[in-house]
Amino acid sequence: MNTADQLDELLESRLRQTRRPVEPFTAVIFGASGDLTSRKLIPALYHLALEKQLPNPYRIIGFARREKSDDGWRQELREALGHFSRTQPVNENVWNEFAKNLVYCQADISDSAGYTKLKAILESFPDPRLQTNLLYYLATQPSQFGEVAAHLSAASLLHKENDTYADRLVIEKPFGHDLASARELNADLVRHCHERQIFRIDHYLGKETVQNILMFRFSNGIFERLWNRDAIDHVQITISEKLGVGSRAGYYEEAGAMRDMVQNHLLQVLSLVAMEPPVSLEPENIRDEKVKLLKSIRPMSPAQVLENVVRGQYFAGEVDGEARPAYRSEPKVKPNSHVETFTAMRLFIDNWRWHGVPFYLRTGKNLPLSASEVRIQFKPAPNILFAARQDANLDPNSLTLRLQPNEGIILRFNGKIPGTATELRPVRMRFSYDSEFGAYTPEAYERLLLEAIAGDATLFIRRDEVETAWSIVDAIRNAWAGKALSNREFYAAGTWGPTAAEDLMARDGREWRNPQPQKE
């Protein structure tokens, strides 16, 4: 059996598995009175219970400073579920059984007495597995991650010497704000637990369509044979957002699009699209290949950054007929701010597969459409047969992976228009997740929480991956430091970005292919 057959067999085996089994556990949510808990975490856990994916028994402890009773916390969460559950109405029988497993621990994150109280609650559970198979979800400020880990370790609730995944920390992005702070955060955490116990969550990796990138690539020989410099002209990855910065303007003044989107979401998608086949589907083998890919991205000098990376900022305009203010008019934004709300870049990957193939990445706020997609543009066919025809409407073949919304895959090729004349036109072959598999697609947090409970780190980000991504972003931000935006870097809200982004593609004789509203 050759390597390709072995990989196909491994993939098929993985696909046959409905889900990695989970053992009885206790999840402790720090920051349990916050927005993330009520909007995402509890709805996700409720839906896992609804789908009968949780083991028996289990417990969920909310750890927060506000004074509440168990019943009071449960009532708050039930009201929130009425707004945020993806299935309505809420199944009251399932909720009532689920709510019995919710326990509230009123305590301050910075007070060691709170961890003593938490330990007493855990020790009161009758099943010993509920006391030892522990998942700590840190839905707190990133500045508190190290503090929580230190208190858990001091209270003997987090065991670094443990050689299993029994004690696990789940932390939310941002994982630092640059390479130095990311390294500092990672160093703080590994003082109290092993790297293998840390699950860095990026909700983008929980999306079904993002996960499908690997399955699509490595289980379909017809495309894997074309997935290289010989057949592909270039790759475009777009994550566009219809909304402006809104209430996040204060955060955005510190982060910008580069920190907010490129360092995590865009580079994550790039790594899955371009990585080499892993030797197996074990978590570390997949994560190894993602890191290798990121380390293969060609470094840029400050002068090369200015040539290959564009930033932009929106001014007043309209989106779907709705007036949108300029970024500089948003609350908490400096009137002379040069923070980017849009960025586009050309990257090269210096390895055998991708030598010479440019990857164009872009993301922005207040664009015409919210969409995420990957477009693989193949090299054009020789035009010898049709060169004499002035009406020949040839278009390079392309494959578009639509990650959201209207998730699916579109293959674009040339076909003859019916009739007596020999006329060509680009046509599309479309696969829709909704049509093929039905409307049910689990929310990202459902999949990610279940994988964390099971101790499967495949969909989580490793320390070296975080630090490599930050090294790429830091080089770009350092090149921008102290430089004002030019006129060609501003764009009207409701357009597809600044003129400078069009220039980036035009210099290579290419153009952006903008996501289209469905149906195309």
The per-residue DSSP string of 466-518 comes to HHHHHHHHHHHHHHHTTPPPPGGGEEETTSS--HHHHHHHHTTT-------PS
Q: How far is CA 513 from the centre of its chain?
A: 22
| CB contact at 8 A, 307 and 344 | no
Q: Give residue 430's region: left, alpha or beta (phi > 0; psi -120 to 50).
A: beta
Q: Is the peptide bond before 334 cis (omega within 30 degrees of 0)?
A: no
| CB contact at 8 A, 27 and 168 | no
C-alpha torsion angle, residues 145, 147, 150, 151 (rounded to 10): -110
Q: Strand 490-492 and strand 309-315: pairing?
A: parallel
Q: Is 402 exposed, middle or buried (0-12, 13-18, 19+ CB in 10 A)?
A: buried
Is 265 an active-site residue?
A: yes
Q: How far is CA 510 from the centre of its chain?
A: 27
Question: Whole-angstrom Cα distance, residue 142 to residue 138?
Answer: 9
Helical (H) or strand (E) element with 226: none
* Helix, strand, coil in percent for the chain, rounding step 5: 40, 20, 40
Question: Whole-angstrom Cα distance, residue 239 to residue 244?
Answer: 14
Candidate list 151, 265, 338, 355, residue with the active-site label: 265
Q: Can you read off the two tokens belonging to residue 238?
A: 């777009």
3-state class (DSSP) for residue 217: helix
Find the length of the chain: 520
| CB contact at 8 A, 468 and 295 | yes
- Please give the DSSP secondary-structure letter assigned to residue 432: E
Q: Can you read off the two tokens belonging to residue 460?
A: 């989580």
Number of other CB atoms surrounding residue 419 within 10 Å: 7
The per-residue DSSP string of 247-299 comes to GGHHHHHHHHHIIIIIIIIIHHHHHHHHPPPPSSSSHHHHHHHHHHHHHTBPP
Q: Which amino acid is it at 378?
A: F
| CB contact at 8 A, 117 and 127 | no
Number of other CB atoms surrounding residue 192 within 10 Å: 21
Catalytic residues: 265
